Amino acid sequence: MRTNKFFKTGLLLFVASLGLISCGDDDKEPEIVVDPVSENVEYYIEGKVVADNAALEGVSVTVGEATATTDENGQYSLTVKDKKTYTVSFAKKGYKTVSDASVEIANNATNKSLIALNVTMSKEGVAVTVDPESDKVITEKGEGETEDAQTVLTIPVGAVSTATDVTLTPYLEAVATDVTPGSKEEAIPMTNIAISSSQDAALNQDVTLSVANASSSDYYFVLSRDEILIFDRQGKGIARINRYGQGREEYLSLLGFDVCEKDSTVCLLTYPSKLMHFSLDGRLLREHKIGVRGFEIALLPDHSWSIFTNNLRQPESDTITLLDIYDGTNGTSRHLIDGYTNLGNQLLPSFQQNRVFTHSRNGREVLFAHPLSNHIWSITSQDSVRIKYTLDFGEKNPPEDAPEMIHPDESPADAVMKYWPVYGFNSCWENNRYLYIQAFVDKQLKDILFDKQSRQLYAGWMTDDLIYCQIRPVEATDELLVGYITADDLISLEDYLNSRPEEKQPEQVTRLIERAQEEGNPIVCLYHLK
């Protein structure tokens, strides 16, 4: 946990000796000097220019007679004098010029106030020659390059009367943000499509423009340290979300995230405490501060946010909580599940916890399971939380609260392993047939799988029939279980296989081991349930 550092600044007073000088007839009368700072009225337009999720250097930025060029970080700054609406243009060779970005210095703007204007520029599409005698399929990548294309323009034979070059370029509308503190509505940048031709050409037939409809269900999302990595179903990297820093629109640590499938956005829970919303291509759409410290979030069906507070003492109520609700429509929060009082406000030990929230496949509820409780809660809205399942271990059931005999100097992990016969509940998932959760039973990690059809309970260690590594489940459908294995898992597997040279391994396993490195990426696995 990071702590704030307070710096005290002192005012150093210089005292000069003033000699007494006689006044003569030639002495001038004292003048009243106007503070030049108060007369220097100016306003600032600043921001960052990116392309392909990276800072774009060397972009010419112009507003009226004021000009600037983006630095190696894509940053620029412009100074204007009047309260009015300005049109800002962004230009660089090889990129589509943004010439219609609008910024308003409002009538109530204070001197030296700032408007942020962040712009995403797009590389110009590849020109394709269209003639009257043939069909053409055009994307931003050129003729016929439809794989991973955002837009496709289909031009039938005879649509043009003379040959012409056609260019297709998707681009984002620039949106300015007032950085004045306070709650406000903010516009979201929208994707537009520019179609240009080398000469005026009348269309004799209809053409078809197709736009890819990106859905969050088409991607994998990985929280890695302080950034989100987005991959497609083939494992290709799509975007990286990383705003680590101490400035505006940045964070010091990334604690949790969730994906809204309705509008295909990714929401980050950060420290300092705020929610930051991004598009699937990594663009920051909006952010707002929240009054709750948390460690993981989940979007509820009513579009409020459930926040795992991990046994923190909330300062506004002096209440120790495990689960809070945040309503983004009115900026309010409240408690749903209290914490373990005899642990004080010490955080719960994770015990290899992957997550506490699980979305149902029908989108109607969120399951909540934390490391110390055998209860699994169902949350359907900010006003509805109930215990859906209770795992009954008989005499080994965990206590409902921390026992009072816990010594204040005793670490939470040591206390749990002493007083909890079963602990470390995590990685819960559910589909139509199975309910699954991990737990430490008598200090041994167990996979607990309940078959809802046969009413059979299985406890042990789930393995796959290919890699023989521990399954780290993330999500499940009725057909597949999505999990991952780490590079450390593969390195350990190599040591195991080297001790058994007589066992022949599939070529796929050999290739994975050869590519494994200690700092390597995890491998996403799709498991079929037998």
Give the whole-angstrom CA distance, residue 259 versus residue 384: 21
Return the pLDDT at 112: 86
Domains, the chain, in order of start with CATH, read: 41-120 (2.60.40.10), 128-169+192-211 (no CATH), 216-460 (2.130.10.10), 463-530 (no CATH)
pLDDT digits (tens, 9 = 90+) for 78-129: 999 999 999 999 999 999 898 888 888 888 888 888 888 888 888 888 888 8
3-state secondary structure labels for all residues of 204-261? CCCCEEEECCCCHHHEEEEEECCEEEEEECCCCEEEEECCECCCCCCECEEEEEEEEC
H helical segments located in 305-464: 412-419
pLDDT in tens, 191-226: 677 787 877 767 777 777 766 655 666 788 888 778
43-51/54-55 β-pairing: antiparallel
Q: How many CA atoms lie within 13 A of 375 on its CB side?
A: 12
Whole-number Å distance between alpha carbons of 95 and 119: 12
Helix (H) or strand (E) holding 299: strand 296-299
Predicted pLDDT of residue 158: 84
Mean pLDDT across 262-273: 90
Peptide bond into 473 cis (omega under 30): no
Q: At what angle do helices 507-515 and 487-498 cross, to 10 degrees?
A: 120
Cβ proximity of 296 and 355 under 8 Å: yes
371-427 pLDDT tens trace: 999 999 999 998 889 999 999 999 999 999 999 888 878 888 999 999 999 999 998
The residue assigned the tokens 């489940």 is: 473
Provide the sign of the torsion angle of the four alpha carbons 492, 498, 504, 509, taken in this order.
positive
DSSP secondary structure letters along 306-345: EEEEEEEEETTTTEEEEEEEEETTTTEEEEEEE--GGGTT
What's the Cα-to-Cα distance from 374 to each of 99, 114, 343, 369, 475, rounded to whole Å?
59, 51, 18, 8, 20
pLDDT of the residue at 278:
92
Q: What is the pLDDT of residues 458-507, one digit of tens each?
A: 888 777 777 767 777 888 888 888 888 777 777 777 777 778 777 777 77
